[in-house]
Amino acid sequence: MLNKPEEFIMAVLAGIWVAITFIICRYLQLPTDTGLLVTTLTLIWALVFFLLWQRGRTSNIWPVFLGLLVMCWWRAIYYSSTEIILNNDNSTSTLVHWYGSWTALIIYALIPLIAGYGFKWWQHKRRKPQQPV
């Protein structure tokens, strides 16, 4: 599976990325289920991206994976946006702030996707056409 040195390096970097994700979840004091969900989704994301990269299939879809990486953090963003309110009758209700709404979460995922494809378009336009010899 890891036939080339760059594949081994990328696999190690993916593992470090997942470990850093877990450390960030612990630092942000997310609940265990939320932290493990974010870490697991990041692990799946890294595995799929690594396998596609290994086969040379990521040159056109890497911006999609940036958006998917943001989607791995949706649960953490939603958790940080919720606020539990104690009512007068000792019941609780949950308030979700605007930055945890579905609209905001989708926009967060679309920003790196659009920026990535915008960057690819800009690079394509910047390339000079080759002169025939």
Tell me: the pLDDT tens digits for 7-24? 999 999 999 999 999 999
Q: In this model, does residue 133 exceed pLDDT 90?
A: no
Task: Show the domain range for 75.
Answer: 5-126
Distance from C-alpha of 119 to C-alpha of 27, rounded to nearest angstrom: 32
Q: Are the beta carbons of 120 and 63 closer than 8 angstroms?
A: yes
Q: What is the pLDDT of residues 58-68, one digit of tens each?
A: 999 999 999 99
Tell me the pTM: 0.86
Q: What is the DSSP letter of 26?
A: H
* Residue 65: CB atoms within 10 Å: 19
Number of compact structural domains in the chain: 1
In terms of DSSP bridges, do strands 92-96 and 82-86 run parallel, antiparallel, or are they unpaired? Answer: antiparallel
Q: Dump pLDDT digits (tens) for 26-57.
A: 999 999 999 999 999 999 999 999 999 999 99
Q: Which two tokens stand for residue 50?
A: 């690594």
Q: Is 133 part of any domain? A: no
Residue 132 lies in a domain: no
pLDDT tens-place string over residues 93-104: 888 889 999 999
